[in-house]
Amino acid sequence: MDSIQARLQPFPQVLVPNQDRIAQDRARYSAVKLSDEEFADLYEANKSKVYSVALRMLANPADAEDVTQDVFVKAYRKLADFEGRSQLSTWLYRITVNRCLDVLRKRKRQRTVPLEEAMGSVSQGSSLKQVIEGLIPTLPPGYRAVFVLHDIQGLKHHEIARQLGVSEGACKSQLHKARLILRKKLKPFLEGIA
Amino acid sequence: MTCERACELLSSYIDDELTTDNRTELEAHLQGCPSCATLERELRFLVRAANELEPIAPPDQLLGRIKSSIQRHRILPWVRPQTIGWVFGSALAAAALLLLLLPSKRLPRESQSSPSPLTVHGPTLDVQEPPEPIVLQPQLETDLQASPPSPRPRNRPSGSVKRHPTPKTQRPSSDLVLVADCEPNPLAQEDDISSLDVTACLRDLAAGLEEIEAALSANPGSPQVRYAYYTVYRKGSELRERLPEYSR
């Protein structure tokens, strides 16, 4: 029997269920399990934040709905992973942005929306805000994420940097470049206004 | 301050994140430089407009979709903690299966039922000089028994593989003869492991891992099944490492 035990020794630990860990997980999951009402409240409070980021990142309502669904399903299942060191909405933003970047990576050919096409959706009488909405998808994904999170959603640089896994300096630099790109494309609009 | 430096600082200036010194220096530059002042004004206007963009609400029916998706997740077994072992086991088995299938050359199933020596038919390579038959010594088994799960040495042991010279003019047999003294599963019990024959699984690694994965799904807590999985997985890795023809 000893020889058998010796041979089982290098058995991958991941395959051997750790009963203590399972018990801890069970206690943890049951402690933070949301009721239907609690989940509905969580959804109502954050649905627009999540969906707005997803839609502006992906420029596709169907993809944005899928991402929003993924985010809330994951939030429901993984609420135990939320350590409370940031706001819940910040945690949701992180899941959302990561998911959006995954989607953008998985798109076989990253389709950059041409300026003419983006501007085509904007009529002559469109406001500057509508024009900006139309131009956001023309930004590179990294710049887009920083611009959406900082200038639209109002997150701080250190929060965005942590979410995107970049330095705060890189985050500021990307935001500045995103603004310069948008300002260049919006030049005709801004000249008469600003 | 140059215009280039001023441009670099403009976003931080608009966001009120500049140090006092930089701010003073930049403001002095803006007063004397109309183009930078215009740029600052336009960027500030753009940022203000972006700040005022309204949140967009998702369609009303999305909540229903999310709830039904959660409901589906609730009944999936991997949500239940007691089946974590099953999940990990299946995931690893699937990963191992993929690992073995990815090299695009798959070990064909051996039709013979003789347990040892094992004969595995290698792929027929479309090259001018087909690979020579390779004989693996029984050391394979002793290596496996003694070695911890550390990475295999990169240099193949010189004594472990013998290459038999083959006349180059004659197309040699593409058979690869694997001499692996596969002992039966020491944990095997008739009622549990009867369908899992390590020797047979090794004969066709891909099919064997599929079979073991299915057994893991049906009986996740069984140390016998996990032993069989482990043995076949490790031996499969050894096999691929020692037969580079299969790894291409």
The pairing of beta strand B161-163 with beta strand B134-136: antiparallel
Inter-chain Cβ pairs, chain A and chain B, closer than 8 A: 136
- Rounded to whole angstroms, the Cα distance separating B230 from B236 reads 10
List all residues of chain A from 46 to 105 with a beta carbon under 8 Å from chain B: 47-52, 55-56, 64-65, 68-69, 72-73, 76-77
Average predicted confidence (pLDDT) for chain B: 61
Q: Is the pLDDT of residue A102 over 60?
A: yes
In this model, does residue B168 exceed pLDDT 60?
A: no
Q: Flag if A48 and B58 touch (Cβ within 8 Å).
A: yes
For testing contact with chain A, the best of B3, B12, B46, B227 (most A CBs within 10 A):
B46
CB spacing of A176 vs B8 below 8 angstroms: yes
B167 pLDDT above the threshold of 50: no
What's the ipTM?
A: 0.73
- Burial class of residue A105 (count of CB atoms within 10 Å of its CB; 0-12, 13-18, 19+): exposed
Pick from B42, B50, B69: which is nearest to A190 by CB? B42
Q: Please name which of A151, A109, A157 lies closest in space to residue A133, comparing C-alpha atoms.
A: A151
Smallest Cα–Cα separation from B208: which of B184, B229, B192?
B229
Q: How far apart (Å, rounded) are the C-alpha atoms in residues B228 and B234? A: 10
Q: What is the mean pLDDT of residues B8-15?
A: 88
Contact A17 B85 (CB under 8 A): yes
Mean pLDDT of B39-48: 88
Task: Give the per-residue pLDDT at B206.
Answer: 64
How many Å apart are CA B244 and CA B57, to the nearest integer? 56
Pairing state between β B118-121 and B134-136: unpaired
| pLDDT at position A27 | 53
pLDDT the model gives residue B224? 67
Single pTM value for the model: 0.52
Residue B193 pLDDT more than 90?
A: no
What pLDDT does residue B119 have? 37
Separation between Cα atoms, residue A95 and residue A97, nearest integer Å: 6
Give the lowest-confidence range in A188-192, B63-67, B175-179, B237-241. B175-179
Higher pLDDT, B239 or B90: B90
pLDDT tens, residue by residue, B131-161? 444 333 333 343 344 344 434 334 444 333 3
Q: B77-123 pLDDT, tens per residue? A: 344 444 445 555 666 777 777 777 665 444 444 444 433 333 334 44
DSSP string, A9-68: TTS-GGGS--HHHHHHHHHHHHHHPPPHHHHHHHHHHHHHHHHHHHHHHH--HHHHHHHH
Return the top range by mean pLDDT from A13-22, A83-92, A122-131, B39-48. Answer: B39-48
Q: Are strands B161-163 and B118-121 parallel, antiparallel or unpaired?
A: unpaired
Q: 3-state class of B24 per DSSP?
A: helix
Q: Are strands B118-121 and B175-178 parallel, antiparallel or unpaired?
A: antiparallel
Read off the pLDDT band of A125 (50, 70, 90): low
% residues pLDDT > 90 (chain A)? 12
Q: Which chain B residues touch A3 with a CB distance below 8 Å?
A: 186
